[in-house]
Amino acid sequence: SAVISQKPSRDICQRGTSLTIQCQVDSQVTMMFWYRQQPGQSLTLIATANQGSEATYESGFVIDKFPISRPNLTFSTLTVSNMSPEDSSIYLCSVEDWAADGYTFGSGTRLTVV
């Protein structure tokens, strides 16, 4: 099955700054997905990233706040911009993994904004 390396695993950031999260997959994938999990909550899809095109954002998420890059078929970044304490969450990337049946997730980035 696909192996996803996500980093950083955790970070503590000052409000007003930005953090870029990276996901590297060990195989080529068409679509990569970014999720947010707020404290004590479930996972919510932020956006879907296709290589060579702009990401598709879910309702309530905008590109200015969560810009995404997808430069090739194995890599993507999510930036959390102009952070506030409300952005404190776990951010996870995911791919559809045909070898394993279903979706596989990275280990997540635990972000705390102070």
Does position 101 interact with another protein (CB under 8 A)? The reply is: yes
CA count, 13 A, side-chain hemisphere, 91: 27
Per CB under 8 A, which region of 11-19, 21-29, 69-77, 100-108 contacts another protein? Answer: 100-108
Does position 44 interact with another protein (CB under 8 A)? The reply is: yes
Q: 106: closest CA among 89, 92, 96?
A: 92
C-alpha 31/C-alpha 69 separation (Å) is 12
C-alpha to C-alpha distances, 19 to 37, 48, 112, nearest whole angstrom: 16, 19, 11
Does position 103 interact with another protein (CB under 8 A)? The reply is: yes
Q: Are 103 and 3 a contacting pair, CB within 8 Å?
A: no
Q: Which of 74, 76, 77, 94 binds another protein (CB under 8 A)?
A: 94
Q: Which of 23, 33, 36, 111 binds another protein (CB under 8 A)?
A: 33
Q: Residues in the site for another protein, rule: CB under 8 A?
A: 31, 33, 37, 41-45, 48, 56, 90, 92, 94, 96, 100-105, 107-108, 110
